Structure 1
Amino acid sequence: MADPSRLTGDPNSHDLSKFSTSLSSTCLCKSIRVTINDNELFTRPRGHLCHCANCRKVSGSYVSSNLAIEREKVVVDDPKGVMKKYIDWETNSGNKVERFFCGTCGNPIMSLPDVLPTLVIVKMGMFPRIPQPECESFALHRHPWQGKHEGLTQFEIVKGGKKLGE
């Protein structure tokens, strides 16, 4: 019988020390590999949980775990050329967001928003460990039944904007 922690993707089965300089994983079908090269991924809270409708749709869940990071720190390997792109104009800013996903298994990979030209937003659900997020964006769009993530700054809409309850 196979190890159940391996089959279910138990994040606790992955020692954080393995990710001291980089974090790498693949889409569900293993066609695309994404590597984040950063030695601070797990030294402090990073990334954010996004509750906007588009991120929810892309993640297939009530929230999307994202990491906005400098483009030069992310390597995407797509040897079979299966990565697809959807250009999303239905955004809060009115500017386009290029949303990339695996054309074989549908796994979301990353987004490139025009409003953040030096950053890539990596979709963290594909990784064995996810850094603790530092904030929530579009917190006004949370469902009333959701639990609260203690210690996270909640922005009403965009990160860096008005905080929830101000």
Structure 2
Amino acid sequence: MASSPKPTPKKVSRSATCLCGAVAVTVTGVDKGAVICHCANCQRSSGSSFAHNYRFLDADITFDKGQDAVTRYEDGNTVNGNVLARHFCKVCGSNVFLQPSTPARMWILHTGGMQDKTQPSRELFTHNKHPWIGDVAASKPKL
């Protein structure tokens, strides 16, 4: 019996802006959903207890405006040792998007700058989660 071909993953587009509006981007790719990341670097970068991120695979990013207003920080002090390029607005300092060195063509938007907010489906690096935070995605698997 021949197996049926896997359906082609649906690509979606999401847009985000920085606080001052100098930077606007659109990412189009395979929807991997929103996550809460509790890693120490996301805590430091966000200035909070976690970062709320939206992930895309096999994705492309388009600058709707402000490419020259983006500063890139190469974060090599990650748990897995892979470089994570953190992009933020050099005018207002807002985190806008991230690009891991692997997998290729993965982009991550910070959900705070997105027009449509999405509930997270997973929590990452829960071993680093502050003990006073409840389950953000209680019914979903955790890494």
Residue 115 of structure 1 is matched in structure 2 by 102
Q: TM-score, normalization: structure 1?
A: 0.70
Which of 34, 38, 42 is residue 51 of structure 1 equivalent to? Answer: 38
Could you tell me the TM-score, scaled by structure 2's length? 0.80
2:33·2:56 contact (CA, 8 Å) conserved in 1?
A: no
Give the letter for the 1:24 counterpart.
S
Distance 1:24 1:138 in 2: 26
1:23 aligns with 2:14: yes
Amino acid at match of 2:26: T
Give the counterpart letter for 1:32 in structure 2. V
Over 3 Å counting, the alpha-carbon distance change for 1:80 and 1:105 in structure 2 is same
What is the CA-CA distance between 1:94 and the residue it aligns to? 1.3
Q: As a proportion of its length, which structure holds more helix?
A: 1
2:80 to 90, 93, 116: 93
* Equivalent-residue separation in structure 2 for 1:23 and 1:115 (angstroms): 21
Alpha-carbon offset, residue 132 of structure 1: 1.9
C-alpha separation in 1, matches of 2:103 and 2:94: 22
- Aligned positions of 1:133-144 closer than 5 A: 133-144=120-131
Task: For residues 9-36 of structure 1, give each alpha carbon's deviation from its aligned partner in whole angstroms, at most 9, with x where no partner exists.
Answer: xxxxxxxxxxxx6433321110111224
Is there any run of 5+ residues in structure 2 with no aligned partner, and where? 1-11
What do residues 94-122 of structure 1 show as CA deviations (whole Å, max 9, x unaligned)? Answer: 12111110000001011111122120111
Aligned residues: 131
Residue 80 of structure 1: CA displacement?
6.2
Runs of 4+ in 1 over 6 A off after TM superposition: none
Percent identity over the alignment? 31
